[in-house]
A and B are shown apart, each in its own frame.
Chain A
Amino acid sequence: MNLILDKISKCFGDKIVLDDISLELTPGVYGILGANGSGKTTLMRILATVMNPSSGHISFNGQDINDMEHRYRELIGYLPQQVGLYKSFTAEKFLSYIAYLKGLTKAETQDKVTEVLDLVGLSEQRKEKVGKYSGGMKRRIGIAQALLNDPKLLIVDEPTAGLDPKERIRLRNLLSRISSHRIVLLSTHIVSDIEYIAKEVLILKEGQLIQKDTPQRLLNEIEGKVWTVQVSEGEILELQSKYKVVNIALVREKYELRILSDTRPHIHAISEVPHLEDLYLYHFDEGASQDAAVKV
C-alpha cells in the first residue's frame, strides 16, 4: 500500500501555500512538523479531498485519487483541525450519522460506533449531547469519527490539541497500535506527540518539504549542535543575543540554558543528545532566544 504525491502545489491568489511537494507514504505513522502557515493543514485537506491542489497528482496504489473518487474516500479517515459537531446530537447519534456518510450499513454502524466510543473512552457519555462536552471530549469524538470506517489512510490534523496529558498519551498509543497496517499522517505542534511513534517526520517550511526522514536520521543532522550551560543571570542576555537559546531553567540558583549552536557557545557548555524539539526549533523558532521561558 502506498500513497504518492507528485508535485503537489496549492496557491491562493498570488500566495503559494504548498510548493511542489513530492513524496511517498507507506504504512506507519508520519509526523508533519511545521510552523503556523507552513502548509500542513492545506496538505492534509488536499489528501482528505476537501481541497483541490492547484497542480500535481496524488495516487493511491497506482491509481489517481481523482479517478477513484468515492473509492478513495472510502479508504480515508480525516480529523480536521477544528472539530465540527451538531450540538443537539448525542455522541452516538452523531457518530451514526457520520458512519452512514461513510457508507456503513445499519448493523455495521451500531457495532462500530460502540467500538470507537470505547477506543476513545466515551462509552459512558454516549447518550449525552455533544454540545455539553468539554474541548477534549469533542476532540475525542472527532478522532472516533475518523476511525469509523477502519481507514487505510488516517489523516489527523493537530489531534492532541485540547487534550490533557493522559489523553495525549492514550491517543499516541492508539495511533501507534493501529499504524501497522495503515498510513497515519499526523500534524502537530507538540513534538513529543510524534517523537516516539513516527516512522518518518516531514518538515514543512513556507510550503516546501525541507526534510523527510526517520527521527533518528533527522536528529543526526543536529548531533553536536545542542548544548547546555549553567550561567549567572547577567550572562543570559549576552548568550541570547549571540545564540539560539531554546530553553532556560533555574537549577540550584544558576540558570541552565539549552542552546543550539554549531560551535561550543560557552567554555563550560556541555554537548547534549538532541531531541526532536531541538530539531523543530532549529528549523523554525527564529525568536527562540527571546522567547525561551524560564523553567524552575
Chain B
Amino acid sequence: MQLLKYELLKIFQQKSLYVIFLFLLVFATLIADFPNVDLLKKDVYHRWEGPLTTEKVQQAEKNYQVLSKGFNLENTAFTLTDLSKLGMYEEIAVLHSTESANEKQISNIKNEHHYNSELQINMLQKVDHLNYVYNYRGPQQMIDFISFLSFLITGVMLLIGLSSIFSREYSSGVDHYILSTKKGRKALVWAKLGAALLYTLSVVSTLELYNFFITIIRIGNEGWKAPIQILFDYHRSPYAFNLLEYHLIQIGLHLLAAFGFALLILLISSVNKHALMSFFISAGIFAFPYIREFTQVQWLKTLLSFSFPYVMKVKPLFVDFQTVNVYDYPVLLPIMAGIIMLISSVIFILMIFKVMEHKQVTT
C-alpha cells in the first residue's frame, strides 16, 4: 500500500499533466455547440415531445412544406429557429419511417442465410419502436463526447502521465536500488500497475464528470429513456438499449480499452530507458489505427475496430450489426472487443512482470 502511494505521488506530481488537461478541457468546451443553438432546439423539442401520433406526423409534414417553401424564394435565409424547426420535422419523418425500415430490413435478412442472420433478426426484433418524440440532446451530447473528444483526451493524458513510469527509474539511475531490493521486481510492479489503473480511472472519471456537468448546464438531462436508434448515427444499430444503458456500456468499454492502453504504455516504458521514446512509440501505436478511415479493405477495417482508439471510441462497435465468425458462431463486435481488451491486458501484465523479473541495469 505504501509503494502504491508513492507510485501515485510520482504520477500526480507531474505538473505538466494539469496544464495539458486544463488546456484540453478548455479546447473541448470551445469547440462544443454554441449554447444558443441548444436552447432553441430545447424549445422546439418541448413543443413536439410526446407520443408519435398520426396527427403529429401530418402536422410536422405540413409545417415542413410551408417552411421549406419560403426557402426556395430568392435572397432568403433560414434563421436559427427555422433550422431547429426543420430539423425537428425531419426527425419526426425519420422516426415515422423507422418501423417500416426495420421490418423491411428483417424481411431482407430472412432471405439471406449467413452464419449470423438468425442473430441479427432476433436482435432487430427486440429493438424498441421509435414511437415517441424525445428531447434527447443532453444524452446525445454526452454519448458523442466520448467518441468525439473523450477518447482522444484520455489517450493524450495516458501518454503524458504514464510514458515515464518505468523509464524514469532507468534514466534517473534509481533502477539500481529498485532491482536490488526485495520488493523491486514484483511488489513494485503491482504498485505501478495499480497506480496506472487508478490514474486512468481518475482521467476517465474526471472527463465524465466534466461531460455531465457541462451538458447539464448547457442542454439539460432529459431523454435518457430514448432508444439509441433515435441518434442519427445509430439508426441501423441492432442493439436494444436506451441511451442511459448504452452510455453506461460505453463508459465501461471506454474504460476497459483505456486500461488496456495504459498497460501497453507501461510495457513500452518498461523496456525503454527514455521517457520520450516510450511516449512516441505509444503515441504511434495509438495513432496507427486511423488508417482505418482511409482503407476500403473490410477485414482490415474489422481488425482495426479492435484497436485501442476505436474501442475507446466505442461508437464504431455499435452503429451496425457486425460479428466475428468463430467456428460458425457469431460473436458480436462489442463482445469480441471486450474479450480482446481483457486478453491483451492480461498479456501486457504478464509481459511487464517478465521484463522486470529479468531486467538488468545497462549503465
- A196 interface residue per 8 A CB criterion: no
Complex Cα spacing A50 to B184, Å: 11
CB-CB under 8 A from B188, the residues of chain A are 101
Given known A52-B360, A101-B188, contact A73–B173 (CB-CB < 8 A): no
- Asked if B72 is at the interface (CB within 8 A of a chain A CB), the reply is no
Task: Say which one of A82-90, A208-216, A241-249 lies at the interface with B.
Answer: A82-90
Chain B 180-196: CB-based contact to A (< 8 A → 1; otherwise 0): 11111111100000000
Stretch at the interface among B2-10, B223-231, B313-321: B2-10
CB under 8 Å from chain A, chain B span 152-192: 169, 172-188
Interface pair B184/A48, CB less than 8 Å apart: no
Residue among B174, B176, B363 making CB contact with A48, cutoff 8 Å? B176
Instruction: Tell me, yes or no, whether B13 is within 8 Å of chain A by CB.
Output: yes
Please name the residue on chain B nearest to A109 by beta carbon.
B2
A203 to B121, CA, bound (A): 82
Indicate if the CB atoms of B179 and A49 lie closer than 8 Å.
yes
Q: Which of the residues B2, B173, B180, B183 comes within 8 Å of A83, measured between beta carbons?
A: B173
Minimum CB distance partner of B176 in chain A: A80
Q: Does residue B297 face the partner (Cβ distance < 8 Å to A)?
A: no
The docked-state distance in angstroms from the alpha carbon of A96 to that of B6 is 10
- Smallest CB-CB separation from B171: which chain A residue? A84
* CB pair A73 B3 closer than 8 Å: no
Q: Chain A: interface secondary structure?
A: loop
What's the least CB distance linking B180 to chain A, in Å? Answer: 4
On chain A, the residues within 8 Å of B174 by CB distance are 84-86
A76/B180 contact (C-beta < 8 A), A52-B360, A86-B174 known: yes
Encode contact with B along A51-88: 1 for CB under 8 Å, 0 otherwise.
11000000000000000001001101010101111101
* Chain B window 24-61, contacts with chain A (Cβ cutoff 8 Å), 1 for yes, 0 for no: 00000000000000000000000000000000000000
How many residues of A are in contact with the other chain, CB < 8 A? Answer: 29
- Return chain A residues, CB-CB under 8 Å to B173: 80, 82-85
A73 and B182 contact, Cβ closer than 8 Å, known pairs A51-B360, A51-B361, A101-B188: yes
Cross-chain contact B182 with A101 (CB below 8 angstroms): yes
1/0 contact string of B351-363 vs chain A (CB within 8 Å): 0000000101101
In the complex the two chains form, what is the Cα distance from A102 to B182 in whole Å? Answer: 5
Task: State in angstroms the CA–CA spacing of A52 and B179 once bound together.
Answer: 12
Confirm or deny: A287 has a beta carbon within 8 angstroms of a beta carbon on chain B.
no
How many residues on B have C-beta within 8 angstroms of the other chain's C-beta atoms?
A: 27
Give the residues in chain B near A103, CB-CB below 8 Å.
181-183
A75, B315: Cα distance in complex, Å: 54
Closest to B7 in A: A97
* A45 part of interface (Cβ distance < 8 Å): yes
Residues of chain B with a CB closer than 8 A to A109's CB? 2
**Given the complex of chains A and B, what is the CA–CA distance between A22 and B360 in angstroms?**
22
A207 CA to B180 CA, complexed, in Å: 23
| Contact A106 B2, CB 8 Å, known A45-B361, A50-B360 | yes
- Whether the Cβ atoms of A74 and B10 lie closer than 8 Å is no
Q: Which of A49, A84, A88, A102 contacts B175 (CB 8 A)?
A: A84
A145: interface (CB < 8 Å): yes
Measured between alpha carbons, how far is A80 from B10 in the docked complex, in Å? Answer: 22
Chain A nearest CB, measured from B235 CB (Å): 53
CA distance A161 to B272 in the complex (A): 29
Q: Which of B6, B13, B363 counts the most chain A CB atoms within 10 A?
A: B6
Chain A positions within 8 Å of B181 at CB level: 73, 98, 101-103
Residues of A within 8 A of B184 (CB): 73, 101
- Alpha-carbon distance between A241 and B181 when the two chains are bound, in angstroms: 51
A50 CB contacts on chain B under 8 angstroms: 175-176, 179-180, 360-361
Contact indicator A101/B3 (Cβ below 8 Å):
yes
Which of the residues A70, A84, A96 comes within 8 Å of B177, measured between beta carbons?
A84
**Contact of B172 (CB < 8 Å), options: A76, A85, A96:** A85
Contact between B361 and A101, CB atoms less than 8 A apart: no
Q: Which residues of A contact B358 (CB under 8 A)?
A: 52
Bound Cα distance from A78 to B174, whole angstroms? 11
Contact (Cβ within 8 A) B2 A78 = no
A96 to B179, CA, bound (A): 16
Q: How far is the CB of A94 from chain B (nearest CB, A)?
A: 9
A80–B363 Cα gap in the complex (Å)?
10
Instruction: Find out whether the CB atom of B182 lies under 8 angstroms from the CB atom of A74.
Output: yes
Instruction: Identify which of residues 91-128 in chain A touch chain B, using a CB-to-CB cut-off of 8 Å.
Output: 96-98, 100-103, 106, 109
B11 to chain A, nearest CB (A): 12
Which chain B residues border A102 with CB–CB below 8 Å? 181-183
Cα of A109 to Cα of B173 in the assembled complex, Å: 22
- Most chain A beta-carbon contacts within 10 A, residue among B10, B183, B188: B183
- Residues of chain A contacted by B363 (CB below 8 angstroms): 82
CB distance from A97 to the nearest CB of B (A): 5
**Residues in A neighbouring B3, C-beta threshold 8 A:** 97, 100-101
Using CB atoms, name the residue of chain B closest to A74.
B182
Whether A70 contacts B182 by the Cβ 8 Å rule is yes
Query: Complex: how many Å from CA A50 to CA B176?
Result: 7
| Chain B: minimal CB distance from A24 (Å) | 21
In whole Å, how far is A84's beta carbon from the nearest beta carbon of chain B?
3
Residue from B10, B185, B187 in contact with A86 in the complex, judged by beta carbons closer than 8 Å = B10
Q: Within the complex, what minimum Cβ distance (angstroms) separates B4 from chain A?
A: 10
Give chain B nearest CB distance to A164 CB in angstroms: 22
Check B2–A73 contact: CB distance below 8 A. no
CB distance from B8 to the nearest CB of A (A): 12
A-B contact pairs, 9 of them (CB 8 A): A49-B180, A52-B358, A73-B180, A82-B173, A84-B169, A98-B177, A100-B183, A101-B182, A102-B181
Interfacial residues, chain A to chain B (CB-CB below 8 A): 45, 48-52, 70, 73-74, 76, 78, 80, 82-86, 88, 96-98, 100-103, 106, 109, 145, 149
Given A45-B361, A100-B3, A103-B181, 15 new contacts (CB under 8 A): A50-B179, A50-B361, A70-B186, A78-B180, A84-B169, A85-B172, A85-B173, A85-B174, A86-B172, A88-B13, A98-B177, A100-B2, A101-B177, A101-B183, A101-B184
Those 6 A-B pairs whose CB atoms lie nearest each other, nearest first = A84-B173, A80-B176, A84-B174, A101-B181, A103-B182, A48-B180
